[in-house]
Amino acid sequence: HDLAVLTQTEVAPLVLTCHDSARAARARLGSAAEVIDCSGTDRSRVDLAVALAHLADRNLRRVLNEGGPTLLGAFVEAGLLDEICLTTAPLLVGGSAVRITAGETDSLTTMRRAHVITDAEGYLYSRYIRVH
């Protein structure tokens, strides 16, 4: 299968996974990426704090999370979301859309507005920072 997205880079990508999946990921990816076991006490799940610690050890201290509501919800539930950037489009869409976060608990994180920018097309770009 084609691994161009992983191999046509200046730096080998990091694949953060759990212990139970690491061996298969290494076999599948070979030298195309560095596979890192980020399990905590549950070897079948990635522990986000462990994953961030591995990244921090490499001086990678900013993480762009584009994983969708479940991953974003996991960061919120773990208390690991420091800021969020939201784009609001001047469009109304119907359907059964979910919230921007999904998870097992109804956690509440207080944020303060840091920046708001608009453009000529009516888009609103907002940045919020967690209140500690």
Mean pLDDT of all residues in 9-29 = 94
Query: 95: alpha, beta or left, given left = phi > 0 and alpha = psi -120 to 50?
Result: left
Domain coordinates in residue numbering, the chain: 1-63, 68-132
Residue 1 has pLDDT above 70, yes or no: no
Amino acid at 99: R
* Band of residue 108 on the pLDDT scale cut at 50, 70, 90: confident
Mean pLDDT of all residues in 6-29 = 92
Q: For 68-132, give the CATH class.
A: alpha beta
Q: By the 8 A CB rule, do 33 and 6 touch?
A: yes
Mean pLDDT of all residues in 87-99 = 88
Mean pLDDT of all residues in 67-88 = 92
